[in-house]
Amino acid sequence: MATTKQYRDFLLEQLNLLEEITCRPMMGKYLLYYKNILFGGIYDERLLVKIVDTNKEFSLKEAIPYKGAKPMYIIEDIDNKELIRDIVIETCKSLKPKK
């Protein structure tokens, strides 16, 4: 199931507390970057972030983005912009920018 552009636009609005968010389409899904750091994506109408040490404090549930992929954390409270901002910032602390 592909992610709709309307859902993508909604989630990008939820991420508007963060500057330098970019979104790139990838096979019906969307990859999300913060300050050039790939931190997660929009997969089948779900906001997922990579599992790293710095975001474990949020006690998020694991989800599989697509068949054969590594588990990621799902952000279920997508109406809470402040929580999303905090999760993204903490996630990116453990990741490296794209070259």
pTM of the model: 0.93
Which residues, in sequence order, are CB contacts of 89 under 8 Å at separation 6+?
18, 34
Give the Cα separation of 64 and 85 in Å (integer): 22
Mean pLDDT within 65-85: 95
In this predicted structure, what is the pLDDT of residue 99?
Answer: 67
Residue ranges of domains in the chain = 5-92
pLDDT mean across residues, the chain: 94
Which residues, in sequence order, are CB contacts of 44 under 8 Å at separation 6+?
1, 2, 3, 29, 65, 66
| pLDDT of 30 above 90 | yes
Superfamily of domain 5-92: YgaC/TfoX-N like chaperone (3.30.1460.30)
Q: Are 38 and 32 in contact (CB under 8 A)?
A: yes
Query: pLDDT per residue over 45-72, tens digit each?
Result: 999 999 999 999 999 999 999 999 999 9
